Structures are given as C-alpha cells and as structure tokens.
Structure 1
Amino acid sequence: MPGPTVEPFLPQHASTSDLARWCEISREGQSELSGSSPQPFALAERLLATDTPAVSRWAARGGEGAPLDGVAELLPQPRDPRLGFLRLFVTPPARRLGLGSALLERATHEARTIGVDRGQGTVLAGPPGEPFAATCPDLRVLLRLERQEQRLDQEAVLRRCRALAVCPDSRYKLTHWRGAAPARLIASFGRVMGHVLDAPGADLQLAPRAWDAAAVRDWEARMTAGGQRLKVCAAVYPPSGDVVAATVTTVPTDGGAVADQHDTAVLPEHRRRGLARWIKAEQTLSLHRLFPGVRAVAGTLNQRNLPMLAVNRTVGYRRVRERLLVETVPHP
C-alpha cells in the first residue's frame, strides 16, 4: 500500500482547491490549539499577498493524487535565527496514518539545511498530540500552557466584569485606544510592554527587545498585519501622565467570533493594587460594546503564572484545554 507523500507548498503556485484545503486544515488545527484562527479565505489572501521565502511550507497526502490531509510550516524566529517554530496539523480522519511523521521528517531535514538547530512547537496535552510529540527524538517540554476562554455572550461574565470595572485607586485613570498608541503615551506604553518578560517562562517564548517608539510602531504593524484590529486598555498615573499598566487584544476583521487576548503587564512599582484586574474587566466590557460579533476571547497562560491565572479567573476566564510548548534538537 503506498505511503504518505509530502510536497513543498508554494501558495502562489498552488491550485485553487489545494490552497483552500491547505488554509482550511491550518485554520482547524490552529483553532483546536488556541481557540481562534483566521478564516480560510483571509489566510489565503495573506499567503498570496506576502512573499516570505524564509518560511517553508509543506502539504501531505495519503497517497499520490489523494486530497491534502496534512500541512506544516517552519518559521525561523527573528530573535534567534537558529531557532525555528513548527506548525504541523493533520485532519482528524487522517491521524495515525503516518502523515504527521512524514511532515515532521521533512521539516527536520529542512531545518538542518537552513541552519536551524533547535525546533519549537505547541501540541495539545493528552492524545493525539502529546503521544505523537513523545515519538520525536530529544524532545523536552519547556512549558505547560493553559488555554482559556472568556465568554462575552454570557451575562454572568459581563455582570462580573461590571462589578470589577471600578478603579481600585483614585489616583489612576483609564484610557483605551484602537490601533496606534497616542504619541503622548507611546514611550510609557513601551516601558510597560517591556515588562511582559517578567512573567514566569516568558523568556522561553520571547527574546529581550527594545521598546522605544519605533519598536512600538513596528509591533503595532505586525499585530495588525493580517487585518486584525488592535485594542489596548491601559491605566495612566496622572502625576506623571504615564501608562503604568496595559492589556492587549486583537479582534478579527474577517467575521471570526473569537478575539485573542495577548499580553497584560503592570510596572513593578504599581503592582498589587488591582490594576490588572481593573483594566481586564474594562477591556472585556469595551470589546462587548464595540464588537458585538465577538462572542469569546481566547488566551493562553503559563500554568506557573499564578498571579495572572488568578486575575483571569476573577474576570470570568475558564480553562478549556492544556497544551505544551516543546523543543527538540535535530540529529546531525
């Protein structure tokens, strides 16, 4: 019986049906992992409009002429060119038939040829993801991550956030913005974002970076590159006029019903005053008011980040799944 076949996937040269199928598998896999993902047509538009030769992509079939049932892409990380992040998804009916292993073998070989000597990825805890990852040589689990969801279509969640949307200290003021940060706040917002790395395990996922005005604008451009709408809620300390706490969410423009919760950070000298809880509750209410089509917010937290886990539970997030950040070193 013929085995799986793996071929390079070049969006600009793929047939219309293969492009649609590749994007659908990617969307379903990403949604299973993180709870949100771009719609297939939006992903296809993005792939066709962006020429990224550094990103390698593949498609797997159960045999010659069979439909696509597996996809993978290897993304070298700008913060470390020797580190690659692998996304690999196989449709549920085609799992345990060798497609995932074939894609992984191809990606590992490609990693060697382009100088990537460490590979990272995320898999769902439990079957089928964790047992599949365990078959990879030299694999180690870096972090256990909790995927969470906050329902905006549940009155109990909104009622809880209304009760919490009260400034814990009259010295602070609230501000919101969509898209680019106001010029007068960009420097202090950048300082707050620099403290995202204070969270447990953040150094395993992010590299230290500058957060000056130019870096903030670059970050904003990348956060909205796929058409996402960037929404920030922040606490300002009036004596200085500076942002001292902020939380970041992106909202899909393609009709998706799930927004993504990204980073929340508070300057060290302003912690333990209830600011994170306050701005996250206010962010929830603002999202519900401004984007009625969004029914939920999805986020992922390191299970060792106990303070933020407690904040999220307070504002109505609940645990949905657990996933693992894993790293493997390819054999020479």
Structure 2
Amino acid sequence: MTTADLTITPLTVPKSVDDADAADFIAFGELNRLVCDEEVGLPDLSPTASQMLASWQDESDSLHVGYIARRGGDIVGMVTLAYAQEEHAKAAEFDLLVPAAHAHECIAESLLLYAEEDARRRGRDVLQTWTLHRPAHTEDALVPKTGWGRIPSTALSQLLEAHGYGLEQVERNSELDLHADPGILERALAEATAFAGRDYCALAWELPTPPALRDGYAAVLARLVTDAPSGDMEFDEETWDADRVARRDVRMTSAGQLVAVSAVEYVPTGEIVAYNELLIGPDRAGVTHQFGTLVATEHRGHRLGTIVKCANLLRWRELAPQSPRVSTFNAEENRPMLDINEALGFVPVSYAGAWQKKI
C-alpha cells in the first residue's frame, strides 16, 4: 500500500484531557499503550494521556512535539519528538508509534522521515530512539556496539538500520514482585547500611521535594546523563537547579501520580550522592515504575545502590500496598546495578534497543 493518501498533521496539546480538542492526545496515549502491548505484551510500560499531559504543556526544560498520520480520517500512526532546551543541545529523541495492523504500509518510514526533517529544522544533528523487544532466542539476534545484550530483529529495527541508525546499547526491562517476602530486602538493606558506614546517611521523601533538599537533589539529577552507562549515545548534558527540580516535581505528580524518593547523603560534605525514584499513577493497584536510580561515580563501591533501592521498595509497600510489581530498565553493561536487581528478585521481562544516527 502506498502513502499517497496519507496525511500527517501536528498533534494538538490540550489544556485538559476533558477539553473538546483533546481527542487526538487521548488517542496518542492509547496508541502508545497498544504498541507496548503488541511489541512486548506490557501496555503499562506507557503512561496514560493524563499522566503525560503536564510534561507536554511545560516547555521550560524539554519541548515535546508530535505528528499524526491519518488515512481516510483514521489514525494509522504517530511520531513524537522531545528536545532538551539547553542552548548547547544537539539531540532529538523520537518515538515511532505504528500499530501492527499497519506495520507494512510504509507509514513508519514516512513518519521517520518527517521526524528527521523536524529535527533538521530545529538545528539538531543527533537522532535517538528506542525499540521494544521480547527476549532473543535466535542466533542472528542483533548485538549492540557495547557488546552487551542482544535483541531480535523487528520491522522497526530493520527500518532504522536501513536508514542509517546504529544499535548503540541494549537495556533490560526487569520486574519485581512487590508482594513477595520482604526479608530479602530487609537483610540486604541492613548489610549494605553497615558496610557503607557512618559517612553515609539515608534520606526519604515523597514529591514535591522539600525546599531544603532541592539544590542537592538537582546536583545528583544532573549526573544521570553523565554518570549512567550509555555506550556511545550522545546525551546532552542538562542544567539543573532548585527551580528545575520544583518544575519536575509538578510534572511528575500531575494526574494524581505518587512519587517516592530514597537518597543517600554523604555526611562530610552534605551532598546527595545516590538516589532511587518509584512512581505510580492514580490507580494505586497498577504497576509501579522505577524512574531514575544513580550512584555518583566517586561514591560507588559502598553499596549505596542497594541502600536506595531496598529502602524505597520497603517503604513503597506501605505507600502503595496494592501495587503488584515494579518495572525498571537498566543498561545490560551496568552489571553492578543488575547484580543488585537479580539479588533482590528482579526478573527480565523485555528489552529495549537504543538507536542513534548523526545527520
């Protein structure tokens, strides 16, 4: 089937999902969940339209734009792009959303070219996207440039390869049963706390971040793109301060979301040197998502990753007792963090491929 009858138009960002012009944005949320379900059987990997709306409305730190592909009035695909707003930023992150029913109709290719042109117009020359995959069971699976992990080929990965994108990294998506015996978490936390010693102090809060902690939290959040394993992905360094933390808090707690933070302070300097975040939507019986987790490079080797993970998971059982499981992504080469996950009972359920192209 050709794309001669395909129309591509901008995605409208409404003031509210209850507004008359919100239909396309709601469809965006539904399509995102459908694609996650079709690709790996995990629709909850995607937030709902209500959960995403605040991030799309606030352009202070990241600009989000989207385009809808229609045929005969029916939505047959979308592409969304995110642009960091730092002056030095040169990357464009995009997400291609085409349901299986239209996977072989050249729609994804049309949207890909549209996204690349949008990035060029905005002066970006590094394009990045992620693909979802079930576990690889074939000898001809794709191996990233890092050499860690492998994923099966899909229609979307083949399209990206054909257009010059390289597979830079594989991430593992793991889940933990939140209703399992907490003894493993309790023992691991006690052992890690004793090992770390008195120079490290545990902190905990729910968003919004207390004003006294915003500067320290901003400093460690800024290090996620520089300290986390990322292969050759060229992520733009981010500028963080207390005001940006406050803006992020508003976005992350929109639509009734709950976010808990576990952190570690290095007592001699007062710096926050490790953190872990857990988030759940307004349905407290839904899946929990682990957002950022990081231990600052110079403080690794003190089991701080175990401390922030275990402390947050144990507290989460009280904050969201109905949530059945927590989902997280980690780079396959990040063995220290994967070792922690595996010891705590996380099991792999899907994988993501990180792709990049320079134009």
Task: Provide TM-score, normalisation by structure 1.
Answer: 0.82
d(CA) in 2 for partners of 1:47, 1:144: 26
Shift of the 189–309 alpha-carbon distance from structure 1 to 2, 3 Å rule, reads same
2:94 matched residue in structure 1: 86
Partners in 1 of 2:339 and 2:276 — Cα distance?
15
Equivalent AA in structure 1 for residue 176 of structure 2: Q
Report if the CA contact (8 A) 1:256-1:294 is conserved: yes
Aligned-pair Cα RMSD in Å:
3.3
**2:137 matched to which residue of 1?**
none
Structure 2: which amino acid aligns with 1:132?
Answer: L
Amino acid at match of 2:120: R
1:71 alignment partner, one of 62, 66, 78 = 78
1:277 matched residue in structure 2: 306
How many Å separate the matches in 2 of 1:111 and 1:256? 39
- Would the aligned equivalents of 1:247 and 1:264 in 2 still touch at CA under 8 Å? yes
Q: 2:108 is matched with which residue: 77, 100, 115?
A: 100
CA shift for structure 1 position 204: 3.2
List gaps (5 residues or longer) in structure 1. Answer: none
Aligned to 1:27: 33
1:1-332 matches, cutoff 5 A: 3=3, 5-11=6-12, 18-29=24-35, 36-43=45-52, 46=54, 55-61=64-70, 63-65=71-73, 67-79=74-86, 80-124=88-132, 125-126=151-152, 127-136=154-163, 138-153=164-179, 155-156=180-181, 158-166=182-190, 167-169=193-195, 171=198, 172-196=200-224, 197-201=226-230, 204=233, 206-224=235-253, 227-237=256-266, 243-254=272-283, 257-268=286-297, 270-330=299-359
Identity %: 23
Counterpart of 2:84 in structure 1: which amino acid? Q
Q: Name the CA distance, whole Å, in 2 between partners of 1:185 and 1:17.
A: 39
Is the Cα contact below 8 Å between 1:11 and 1:48 reproduced in 2? no
Q: How many residues align?
A: 324
Give the whole-Å Cα distance in 1 for the aligned partners of 2:241 and 2:84. 21
TM-score, normalised via structure 2 length: 0.76
After superposition, what is the alpha-carbon deviation per residue over 1:103-135, rounded to whole angstroms, capped at 9, x for unaligned? 112222333333333211111242233223222
Distance 1:60 1:209 in 2: 32
- Change in 2 beyond 3 A, CA 1:240/1:21: closer
The DSSP-based 3-state class of the residue aligned with 2:323 is coil
